[in-house]
């Protein structure tokens, strides 16, 4: 269980901390990394920081393939389950049968369940940037927060699209002039049994809209692949057309291109690494996938089985290995964005993909890019073992670089 040490109002005391692993961002990606570290016999001192309490601010419509919640022991957060998705055009509706069900879930419950599987100290603090890096290999990095500095040799940026801890040399991600989509949704009360997409240029010409039922509410929103296209009025139009009330706005920028997964000794995961999938803007499954992969790399460091530099290289490489799939989806995103305004072409394309065998094959290929079954081997994998040293429960859990030169053997690379 995480140790809570949150501070609000007058209790908001200064922070000045040292730890083995600092995870910035307590949502899907960050909490998954923490979960993976919890089973390490090295018992690293893990600190998680977020500007909000865990689960306080929903960051998505929260639809995900069910097997991922089964894998992570999170099914208690499920609100509703769907065996198909219906795509609506201005005139017609097409139903895709899914090879595995999608579920919608309660964000707060899921985050708390995920956090409960971790072992970390949690602090509410806004991450503002990074301090100067130490000169020696493996030296701690300093992360600056609005409550003070936190130092750790292993630092994870799971802060979302803004990529707050990006290397200074990297161009800032500046919407709308960046590889970003934009999404906005409302959460009116109501019930429905249909997981629905709207490919209708009346709402958005270069993108899609959705209505995702989740128990007693329906998450209705609009996503534009073109970040210049505003989505508030279209969202209001769609909600009105569906006969619902616009309550509880929630929106954000959504990356649709992979970014370097490491930089200046920081590990990036989830939206900060551009892991959200193009075309569908499905970002929870990738945050889980790469969160597990990164958590395992970090475990090997704290257990002395590889150095931080080796982990940086391995993790960057396994993320980049997915680049072809991301590029392919980006091409499809451009294609779909191009045909939404052309009703006849759109209708023909949807008609061609709805027969059950075609739909199953297409969705299986899409879901197979990051399948939950990749991780069904349990919490630990066969990682590097050469040069291993016993964990020292008294001392810092991160191995100095020089002690593990023998650990370079590339074994058990997660990801593919
Ligand atoms: C409207 C909308 C609907 C979506 N629906 C779906 C969906 O149904 N299914 C799906 O798979 N994907 C969906 N997505 C995409 C999905 O939400 C993201 O890809 C996913 O949330 C990424 O997870 P993450 O952990 O990387 O980042 P986030 O979930 O964005 O979490 C980032 C965390 O960092 C914290 N943070 C940010 N900046 C700071 C800071 N400076 N200091 C401290 N803390 C900070 C935030 O409070 C947050 O807790 C949707 C996106 C949008 C915008």
- 352-391 per-position pLDDT tens digit: 999 999 999 999 999 999 999 999 876 544 455 434 333 3
pLDDT of residue 12: 77
Place of tokens 């090997």: 300
Query: What's the 375 CA to ligand 1 centre distance in angstroms?
Result: 22
- Pair of tokens at residue 185: 């949704």
Query: What's the 57 CA to ligand 1 centre distance in angstroms?
Result: 9
pLDDT of residue 407: 26
CATH number of 1-62+107-178+258-322+372-416: 3.50.50.60
Separation of alpha carbons 285 and 66, rounded Å: 10
Give the helix/strand (H/E) hosting 182: strand 180-186
Q: Are strands 207-214 and 217-224 parallel, antiparallel or unpaired?
A: antiparallel
The domain spans of the chain are 1-62+107-178+258-322+372-416, 66-105+180-255+338-369
Pocket mutation for ligand 1, best pick of 223, 284, 366 (most atoms within 8 Å of C-beta): 284
What radius of gyration, in Å, describes the C-alpha atoms of the chain? 22
Query: What's the 61 CA to ligand 1 centre distance in angstroms?
Result: 10
Q: Which atom belonging to ligand 1 lies closest to the Cα atom of 52?
A: 47
Query: What's the 271 CA to ligand 1 centre distance in angstroms?
Result: 7
Query: What's the 27 CA to ligand 1 centre distance in angstroms?
Result: 7
**Strand spans (E) along 269-374:** none
Task: Give the chain's residues under pLDDT 50.
Answer: 1-4, 380-382, 385-416
Q: Are 29 and 160 in contact (CB under 8 A)?
A: no
- List pLDDT tens digits, range 394-416: 333 444 332 222 222 222 222 22
Pocket mutation for ligand 1, best pick of 60, 165, 197, 235 (most atoms within 8 Å of C-beta): 60
Among the four given CATH numbers 3.40.30.10, 3.40.50.300, 1.25.10.10, 3.30.9.10, the one describing domain 66-105+180-255+338-369: 3.30.9.10
Q: Which atom belonging to ligand 1 lies closest to the Cα atom of 212?
A: 8
Q: What angle do CA 266, 274, 173 make, to 5 degrees?
A: 80
Query: What's the 306 CA to ligand 1 centre distance in angstroms?
Result: 30
Q: Which residues line ligand 1 (CB under 6 A)?
A: 25-30, 50-52, 57, 59-64, 126-127, 158-160, 162, 164, 183-185, 221, 250-252, 254, 270-271, 276, 281-285, 287
């Amino acid at each position: 269980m995480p140790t809570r040490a949150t501070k609000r109002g007058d209790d908001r005391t200064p922070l000045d901390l040292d730890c083995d692993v600092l995870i910035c961002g307590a949502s899907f990606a960050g909490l998954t990394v923490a979960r993976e570290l919890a089973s390490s016999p090295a018992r690293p001192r893990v600190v998680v920081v977020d500007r909000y309490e865990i689960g306080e601010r929903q960051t998505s419509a929260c639809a995900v393939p069910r097997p991922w919640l089964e894998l992570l022991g999170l099914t208690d957060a499920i609100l509703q389950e769907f065996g198909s998705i219906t795509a609506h055009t201005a005139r017609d509706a097409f139903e895709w049968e899914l090879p595995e069900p999608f579920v919608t879930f309660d964000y707060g419950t899921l985050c708390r369940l995920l956090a409960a599987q971790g072992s970390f100290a949690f602090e509410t603090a806004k991450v503002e940037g990074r301090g100067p890096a130490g000169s020696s290999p493996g030296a701690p990095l300093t992360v600056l927060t609005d409550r003070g500095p936190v130092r750790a040799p292993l630092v994870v940026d799971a802060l979302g699209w803004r990529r707050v801890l990006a290397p200074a040399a990297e161009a800032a991600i500046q919407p709308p002039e960046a590889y970003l989509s934009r999404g906005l949704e409302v959460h009116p009360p109501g019930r429905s049994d249909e997981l629905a997409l709207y490919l209708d240029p009346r709402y958005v010409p270069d993108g899609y809209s959705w209505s995702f039922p989740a128990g007693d509410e329906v998450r209705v929103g609009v996503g534009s692949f073109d970040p210049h296209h505003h989505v508030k009025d279209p969202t209001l139009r769609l909600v009105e057309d569906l006969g619902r009330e616009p309550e509880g706005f929630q929106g954000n920028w959504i990356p649709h291109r992979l970014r370097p997964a490491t930089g200046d000794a920081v590990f990036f995961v989830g939206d900060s690494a551009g892991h959200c999938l193009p075309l569908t803007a499905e970002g929870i499954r990738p945050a889980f996938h790469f969160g597990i992969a990164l958590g395992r790399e970090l475990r090997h460091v704290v257990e002395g089985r590889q150095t931080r530099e080796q982990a940086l290289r391995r993790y960057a490489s396994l993320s980049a290995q997915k680049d072809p799939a991301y590029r392919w989806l980006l091409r499809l995103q451009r294609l779909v964005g191009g045909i939404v305004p052309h009703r006849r072409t759109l209708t023909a394309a949807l008609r061609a993909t709805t027969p059950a065998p075609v739909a199953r094959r297409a969705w299986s290929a899409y879901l197979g890019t990051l399948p939950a079954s990749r991780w069904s081997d349990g919490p630990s994998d066969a990682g590097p073992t050469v040069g291993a040293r016993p964990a020292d429960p008294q001392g810092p859990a991160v191995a100095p670089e020089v002690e593990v030169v023998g650990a370079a053997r590339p074994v058990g690379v997660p990801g593919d």
